[in-house]
Structure 1
Amino acid sequence: MARRPGRGGVPPEASFSLGGVRRCGDLAGAFPEIEKAVRQLPDDTAVDCELIVWEAGRLAFEHLQQRMHHRGAGAARAAVEFPAHLVAFDLLRVHGSDLTGRPFSERYAALEGLFLEHHLSAPWSLCPTTTDPKQAAAWLADYTAVGIEGLVFRPLASRYVPGGRGWTKYKAWHTTEAIVGAVTGSLRTPTTALLGRYDDSGRLRYTGRTTTLGAAVRHALADRLRAGDADHAWTGRTFRVGWGSREQLSVHLVVPDVVAEVAVDGHSRGGIER
């Protein structure tokens, strides 16, 4: 998130973008309430933060993703129905002064000062940080229940390296059981397994796909798989490669009588676990 300096009496331009390996674009038109919030920053300031949407007390990544495609009146309506929030965790530049060469402890202290000085409040939120292991463990237990993956560990003395990764993420995994309803690859050499659970009406509902199976699991699963028939609950259904992807998977339906124990990170979207 950045606010650029104004020129010749023109109001400062507030902008924010989604950056990544495959894409980067200006999202101001899609999130008018966030564009307004960014204008609270002083001129020539850059904040590293996360854009999130809540629904029913949980992170709703699907609504965040859907909102990226709205513009104009559609974006204004979406801002009311599914308002976004900014969780700030690092300060890279303030009033034109580059902070990337300073240790994280100083940058975070400056970020706290920025929040106090400019009275930043919703949709702004300051990401909490601690050096207390007990506090971190409590956060890990509490936050994962609302869809937060885990914690990020960052050395207090670390500098900010553009394009680098000066931190380590710790994900909170838990195990659960699900039924194998289909596989990619082939029945003899399954690559991934598509999983489901029966709902209250007795229908097998899709709940997610595994990562690539290891050799031992692949062989053990292959010995238990049988090809599904036309009565399979997922007959005629299509599956996509991943969240937000339009690419369809080539799958083989199997008799849903194999129960697998899987590890999930607590992040879900529309009932689909990861």
Structure 2
Amino acid sequence: MDLPVMPPVKPMLAKAVHEVPRAPDLRYEPKWDGFRCVAFRDGDEVELGSRNDRPLTRYFPELIDLVKDALPPRCVVDSEIVIVTERGLDFDSLQLRLHPAASRVRKLAEEIPASLVVFDLLALDDRDLTGQPFAERRRVLEEVVDTELARVHLTPLTGDPDVAQDWFDRFEGAGFDGVMAKPADAPYQQDRRVMWKVKHERTADCAVAGFRWHKDGNGVGSLLLGLYDEAGTLHHVGVASSFTAARRRELVDELASLRENALDGHPWRDWTIAEAPAGRMPGVQSRWNAQKDLSWEPLRVERVAEVRYEHLQSGRFRHGTRLVRFRLDRKPESCTYSQLEEVPPAELTALLAEERARR
């Protein structure tokens, strides 16, 4: 492979803001909920790289021919790998695609094929376009990508913040994370937070059932959260993390008394790595990093945490949550799924149709 922009490429990143930014030089896109992917094509050679420099090519073999059919012979594009269903984006099915067995990968590629959403052009032929303004990169991208093919999409784009707000409000039910805002005159800056992202945020009260030590061993790295269903079963729904170093140390003392005899009658005491379905229980091996330590310490289920979250998918928080406060006025058994807001489904094809109409 010999391209003007060679792998690995660290994708351009975004800063989180609480509302849609409004400025005349901004361009807005939906924030897709998938795997970020920089796709490299040099003739018959195709490589799909993740934002963490881990190759995605082996997990999505069906995208190789798709890239060859939809993109120019020599190019580099920034994109998102997604799985589109009648209900919208399906991140759970996307995670299933990260399987170590080649036979399983091939089977899943046929049963739940992935789609590619392209949104930036980093190189074309012998030209490095990363120094060009985003508006110019997008103009050229619109000319060279073939979106008539099934499972290839050019992300919608607008310069109108009211349209972006409408996307933010209307298409959450289709699985979108939110909205991205990009300066029209900005070059492509690898691994720098020069864009903005607006994501849906809500709060929920969760039972605290355990914790994981921070990777440096000097404090609490994350709290394990649970919600009760109608039958009274406590389900692991995610973690609260991103504590400062001082707060990690404070939490060790705050939770110390809850560690005593924590396994006696603990609702998760029988969970083991071997028995746990992927992604549903603490201690499950990470799909991205088999060496990552996901062992956990049980706590007596007596503490309630109010956490800020973005959205729920398949009964779990899609991303890690942030601790707002401990609710000493709440009992853990009151932390049920019924408190969560249900987002009505939206028709994903409507948004993609809007982009085709604009062009």
TM-score bracket relative to the smaller structure = 0.7 to 0.9
- Secondary structure of the equivalent of 2:96? helix
Q: Which residue of 2 aligns with 1:111?
A: 141
Change (3 A) 1:52 1:220: same
Relative CO higher for 1 or 2, CA cutoff 8 Å, sep ≥ 6? 2
Say if 2:41 is the partner of 1:18: no
The one of 227, 241, 264 equivalent to 1:230 is: 264
1:196 to partner: Cα distance: 0.6
Q: Which digits, 9 at most, give the CA deviation of each residue in 1:238-262, with x for residues without a partner?
A: 5238853443444332332332211
Letter in 1 for 2:210: A
1:119 to partner: Cα distance: 4.7
The one of 162, 183, 205 equivalent to 2:211 is: 183
The one of 75, 80, 94 equivalent to 1:45 is: 75
1:14 to partner: Cα distance: 4.1
- Secondary structure of the equivalent of 1:42? coil
1:220 to partner: Cα distance: 10
Q: Which residue of 1 aligns with 2:41?
A: 3
Change (3 A) 1:43 1:211: same
Change (3 A) 1:242 1:55: farther
Count of aligned pairs: 261
Structure 1's unaligned 5+ residue stretches are 5-11
Q: Which deviates the most, 52-61 or 93-102? A: 52-61
Letter in 2 for 1:172: H
**Aligned equivalents of 1:180, 1:119: Cα separation in 2:** 46
Change (3 A) 1:199 1:55: farther
1:172 to partner: Cα distance: 2.2
**Aligned equivalents of 1:243, 1:267: Cα separation in 2:** 20
Q: Percent identity?
A: 28
Change (3 A) 1:133 1:18: same
Change (3 A) 1:69 1:255: closer
**Aligned equivalents of 1:173, 1:151: Cα separation in 2:** 13
Letter in 2 for 1:30: Y
Q: Which digits, 9 at most, give the CA deviation of each residue in 1:202-246, with x for residues without a partner?
A: 111111111144639849964984743421111132523885344
Change (3 A) 1:72 1:210: closer
Q: CA RMSD in A?
A: 3.2
Q: Which residue of 2 aligns with 1:240?
A: 283
Q: Which deviates the most, 139-148 or 197-206? A: 139-148
Q: Which residue of 2 aligns with 1:158?
A: 186
Matches within 5 A, 1:102-141: 102-115=132-145, 118-141=146-169
1:100 to partner: Cα distance: 2.0
Q: Which deviates the most, 236-245 or 192-201? A: 236-245
Q: Which residue of 2 aligns with 1:87?
A: 117
**Aligned equivalents of 2:106, 2:252: Cα separation in 1:** 52
1:159 to partner: Cα distance: 0.9
1:18 to partner: Cα distance: 2.1
Q: Which residue of 2 aligns with 1:9?
A: none
Name the TM-score, length of structure 1 as normaliser: 0.80
Kept in 2, the 8 Å contact 1:149–1:267? The answer is no
1:39 to partner: Cα distance: 0.9
1:62 to partner: Cα distance: 4.0
Q: Which residue of 2 aligns with 1:7?
A: none
Matches within 5 A, 1:192-211: 192-211=222-241
Say if 2:94 is the partner of 1:64: yes
Matches within 5 A, 1:22-33: 23-25=53-55, 27=57, 29-33=58-62
**Aligned equivalents of 1:73, 1:251: Cα separation in 2:** 32
